Structure 1
């Protein structure tokens, strides 16, 4: 056998290894069994697990099993029940291993308030009820990672939907599939694929005007005469400005600044992070509407799941 299963082919390499080490059952108790689960040699399997996690597979499995056992004990399950469920040869063997690791016998873990995590060289831990959790490295930008993912995915997914709409006829692009459909009352009706996709771009453009101090933009790209190709080019321009704005205010620590929007009548005040949240919320809603409308016209556009998008980027 070879290490071929570990070579990236669009699969999650670490996830594959961890599934073999901690499969959620007792089907892979030893390293040879773990390696066989993914059709790898024991040597290559052990080397890859150690390289990616900093722990030998047997030690990693043992620690995760003990963490999972501690969590179950903390929920009130009995020692013998947990020992059997986690694959230990006897409650006595389990109790000795547990006490060495946690400093208290398993019968006392619920009262100790100890928690179920053990020290780990890789930040990899059991996560209830049957998952794993990998802690981010200290000093990372965890506070902005989710927001940046949502911003990038929103732009990429909008571009994808506009590209899918390019195969529509002009009549289909403007066809009122949902007469009277209104997302936000001040934006007016959005009954067609073209109107919904144009509104996604228009919303960013309006808020950019408020933040950048520009005049109210025209809605020429929401006109029925606008083609998907024209909207795609306009979206590229607006999205670049949008990302540049969010990146700049984030880097300067100004997301809590307030914009008094004179484009509103009467003027209203908005904090920048609220504006970003508003745009992302309604963009996601409109992308869902656009997907459903495209499907009605026989044009599949995928699920739009950020997880799927992350795997390809």
Structure 2
């Protein structure tokens, strides 16, 4: 998070705007190492609101919330940057239409040109605007994409291992799901991760139980498994998209590959795959770290920032 290339510039600007230690736009600009002109222009570009107006509104929202929770006017006024309780009270009445003593009668949120508001107790909240961004994906779609991308990334990092490291049993007896068997090596865990999707694709398509030859670490290396994963991932994503578009993720499949056969709803299958895929990816991260290959956290938040 401290990598300059990945800094959240909007967050940095907002921190400067709302920092009680910054008494004016000049102070805000200096704290972000920008000129006052460029700071004001960038805040306006990103929020549609002048820094001083944004600061005043957010501070008033926070002040109203604090008053609603029983804090004294004098303390709130001082903390939120007003020169005196009297000045604060006049600003509060002018904005909310009631004196601070009646703060409980108002909603602390004020009209905003950008959907940015104070969020208790010490955060900011930016409302989404679906009219501007109608293509916002749902959480399931994001997690499916993240799972595929992160697996691809881990396979790329695993390609840095030697053959001995790829198959080294660094976690003897490690088992994620009993029916998948032991997964003691990096290659075994990644192979099971890919194979798990392949099995469910066969189940849904009504195909025969797939061979594990393409995912066995003693038969394939990381690059070969990565190519196989690319194919499986495309089929997995296409299958989910097809059933989702048809409104059929609630369909039930009778899994004849199980002994005895069992029934599963499609959205349950997707949730199952995502759950155990995430678990296996974390296992792989720990195992790769043991081999001297760092992989980062794999956090969806970081992944989304890079999209």
TM over 0.5: yes
Within-5 A mapping of 1:40-189: 40-110=34-104, 112=105, 114-139=106-131, 144-189=137-182
Say whether residues 1:266 and 2:263 are aligned partners. Answer: no
1:251 & 1:115 partners in 2: Cα distance?
A: 40
Counterpart of 1:198 (choices 168, 191, 196) is 191
Say whether 1:293 aligns with 2:280.
no
In the aligned structure 1, how far is the partner of 2:251 from the partner of 2:275? 20
Contact 2:288 2:295 (C-alpha < 8 Å) held by counterparts: yes
What's the CA shift for 1:229? 1.3
Partner SS for 1:155: helix
Residue matched to 1:22: 18
Partner of 1:215: 208
Shift of 1:30: 1.1
After TM superposition, the structure 1 stretch with the greater mean CA deviation from structure 2, 180-189 or 143-152, is 143-152
Secondary structure in structure 1 of the residue aligned to 2:150? helix
For residues 298 and 203 of structure 1, the distance between their equivalents in structure 2, rounded to whole angstroms, comes to 27
How far did residue 168 of structure 1 move?
A: 1.7
CA shift, 1:142, in A, is 8.5
Distance 1:71 1:253, change over 3 A: farther
Contact 1:95 1:105 in 2 (8 A): yes
Correspondent of 1:13 among 9, 13, 31: 9
Q: Secondary structure at the match of 1:190?
A: coil
Gaps of 5+ in 1: 1-7
Q: Offset at 1:251?
A: 2.7
User: Aligned equivalents of 1:97 and 1:83: distance in 2?
Assistant: 10
Does the CA contact (< 8 Å) of 1:17 and 1:49 recur in 2? yes
1:283, CA displacement in angstroms? Answer: 0.8
Query: Hey, what's the Cα distance between the residues in 1 that align with 2:135 and 2:249?
Result: 16
Instruction: State the distance in 1 between where 2:168 and 2:96 align.
Output: 65
- Asked if structure 2 preserves the Cα contact closer than 8 Å seen for 1:202 and 1:219, the reply is yes
**2:138 is paired with a residue of what secondary structure?**
helix
How many residues were matched structurally?
302
Aligned-CA RMSD value: 2.0
Aligned-residue offset at 1:179: 1.1
Q: Deviations over 1:126-154 (max 9, x none)?
A: 11222211111135568843222222221
Q: TM-score, structure 1 length as denominator?
A: 0.89
Between the aligned partners of 2:204 and 2:96, the Cα distance in structure 1 is 54
Please list the CA deviations of residues 185-232 of structure 1 after superposition, one character each: whole Å capped at 9, or x if unmatched.
111111111110111111111112222332221111232221111101
Gaps of 5+ in 2: none
- The answer to whether the 8 Å contact 1:136/1:142 transfers is no
Structure 2 CA distance, aligned partners of 1:259 and 1:69?
55
Aligned to 1:4: none
Shift of 1:116: 2.0
Contact 1:256–1:272 (8 Å) recurs in 2: yes
Closer, same or farther in 2 for the Cα pair 1:247/1:101, shift >3 Å?
A: farther
